[in-house]
Amino acid sequence: GQNIDQPTEMTATEGAIVQINCTYQTSGFNGLFWYQQHAGEAPTFLSYNVLDGLEEKGRFSSFLSRSKGYSYLLLKELQMKDSASYLCAFSNTDKLIFGTGTRLQVFP
């Protein structure tokens, strides 16, 4: 079967660093996506990993270990506007399988 798991909620302080973990199981893997979704809005693309290692894009970085079925999203220099849900999704043969999302609250 296939499944994907990430924490339900996390909190952090403005200016801090937070790591959101994601583990997955699947027989067919074509890459891993991270999306950001603000309350009441549509998800927007953050990052894509298909090879092991770290992909850095400004304040956001994403890491993948295919052998461990593990990814994380690292958010640095947190800002209040980073309060949102972060969705992990892996690509199988014909669609994306989304996790339930991690709701991140950033406090002053």
Using the structure block, give the residue that is written with the tokens 């990430």: 6
Nearer to other proteins by Cβ, of 5 and 77: the residue is 5
- Residue 95 binding other proteins, by CB under 8 A: yes
Angle (CA) 76 36 24, round 5°: 90
**21 near 7, Cβ under 8 Å?**
yes
Closest CA to 90 of 50, 63, 54: 50
Nearer to other proteins by Cβ, of 36 and 78: the residue is 36
Q: Rounded to the nearest 5°, which phi and psi values hold at 52?
A: -60, 145
Nearer to other proteins by Cβ, of 9 and 77: the residue is 9
Nearer to other proteins by Cβ, of 31 and 76: the residue is 31
Q: By CB under 8 A, what part of segment 55-84 binds other proteins?
A: none
Whole-angstrom Cα distance, residue 10 to residue 98?
18
- Residue 26 binding other proteins, by CB under 8 A: no
Residues of this chain that bind other proteins (CB under 8 A): 30-31, 33, 39-45, 48, 50, 85, 87, 91, 93-96, 98-101, 103
